[in-house]
Amino acid sequence: MSESQDRTVAVPWDDDEDPVAAARQAAAGRKRRRPPRGPKRRYRSIFISDVHLGTKGCRADYLLDFMRHAESDYLYLVGDIVDGWKLKKSWYWAPDHNDVVRKVLKRASQGTQVIYIPGNHDEMLRDYVDHDLAGVKILQDTIHETADGRRYWVLHGDEFDGVVMHAKWLAFVGDHAYRVLIGMNTWVNYVRRKLGYSYWSLSAYLKHKTKKAVEFMSNFEESVASEAVKRSVDGVICGHIHHAERRQIQGIDYINDGDWVESCTVLVEHDDGRMEILFWADDIARREAAARSGDTAEALEAAE
Ligand SMILES: [Mn+2]
């Protein structure tokens, strides 16, 4: 089959467009209310990382909303898309998580160049580096050239946290770990009280951790940028630390595309090569607010 034929293949299980599948899903009671639609956007490239599919903290619903609104020539999956690490212990695979995988594969079949750079949570995919899986190109890292000719080194970034702290701090970012910590706090304080010790402050502990985390992040950014300087690129695009950021470090355009667990951020390249970080939760909030004020206006009109 030629490539152009490939692009027209209809994927029967894309429930977004398939009314039968949509009806089936609605009947199964899994259909949640979607935010109101906004305008469709087209980008040259989209960079997404740290989705952590397979965990409860994953905001697959927000990511799906983004994907419904955005198309691109290139789609970079910059690591930790699936959380295989956690899947080994507990399985949390919601219909939304399936839909993300389906959407990505559908894009790959319709001509979007999909590049998957495995991270530390989906490191099992590192065995497939330089292979093509269902139209998705798996790479250790790569160079992306923008429309205006700048070269960005694209990598997940976990190889740079050994320098500082072995990434254990990341556990404190996840909501699961946070809940466990809160549970632990109650238990620890029960024991402490029995032994006559004073209350152990969770908030002080977290503040300390946060300070450590802030320190870690700036060290991470510096190390990644230093390596980028050695590779004589114009910029670097990475993920891993769940912190969307763009700043100039040692003459390098450092961009972190963030995550879909806490901040729901994505990096896009416009057709002219301009890079932009989008905070998608804000976009959803704006649409919902607009719909609400629209409802109010309608209600007022009806009352008059
Ligand atoms: Mn990671």
What's the CATH code of the domain at 142?
3.60.21.10
Digit-coded pLDDT (tens) for 113-160: 999 999 998 988 999 999 999 999 999 999 999 999 999 999 999 988
Say how far apart CA 151 and CA 205 lie, in whole Å: 41
Gap from CA of 42 to ligand 1 centroid (Å): 28
Gap from CA of 208 to ligand 1 centroid (Å): 22
Band of the pLDDT at 20, cuts 50, 70, 90? low
- Is 229 inside any structural domain? no
- Is 164 inside any structural domain? no
pTM value? 0.76
- Is 44 inside any structural domain? yes
Digit-coded pLDDT (tens) for 38-89: 999 999 999 999 999 988 888 999 999 999 999 999 999 999 999 876 566 6
Which of 2-16, 61-75, 142-156, 246-260 is the least confident region? 2-16
- Is 209 inside any structural domain? no
Which of 32-41, 89-98, 111-120, 289-298 is the least confident region? 289-298
Residue 13 has pLDDT above 50, yes or no: no
Band of the pLDDT at 9, cuts 50, 70, 90? very low
Digit-coded pLDDT (tens) for 174-216: 545 555 665 666 666 667 666 766 556 554 566 556 767 777 7
Q: 177 in the Ramachandran plot: left (φ > 0), alpha (ψ -120 to 50) or beta?
A: alpha
| Helix or strand (DSSP H, E) at 232 | none
Gap from CA of 146 to ligand 1 centroid (Å): 24
- Is 152 inside any structural domain? yes
Give me the long-range contacts of 7-14 (CB less than 8 A, separation at least 24). 7/109, 7/110, 7/111, 8/110, 9/109, 9/110, 11/102, 11/105, 11/106, 11/109, 13/102, 14/102, 14/103, 14/106
Q: What pLDDT score was predicted for residue 12? A: 37
User: Once rounded to an integer, what is the mean pLDDT over residues 23-42?
Assistant: 71
Number of domains in the chain: 1
Coil, strand or helix at 237: strand
* Strands of the sheet with 245-249, listed across from one edge: 142-145, 151-154, 235-238, 252-256, 245-249
Angle 60-69/95-109 helices, nearest 10 degrees? 30
Q: What does the DSSP 8-state code read for residue 52?
A: -
Gap from CA of 159 to ligand 1 centroid (Å): 9
Gap from CA of 192 to ligand 1 centroid (Å): 35
- Is 100 inside any structural domain? yes
Residue 31 has pLDDT above 90, yes or no: no
Q: What does the DSSP 8-state code read for residue 193?
A: H
Full residue range of the structural domain in which residue 89 is found: 32-158+236-303
Q: What pLDDT score was predicted for residue 292? A: 84
Q: What pLDDT score was predicted for residue 288? A: 87
Residues facing residue 245 across a β-bridge: 256
- Is 196 inside any structural domain? no
Mean pLDDT rounded to a whole number for the chain: 81
Gap from CA of 37 to ligand 1 centroid (Å): 31
- Is 186 inside any structural domain? no
Gap from CA of 6 to ligand 1 centroid (Å): 33
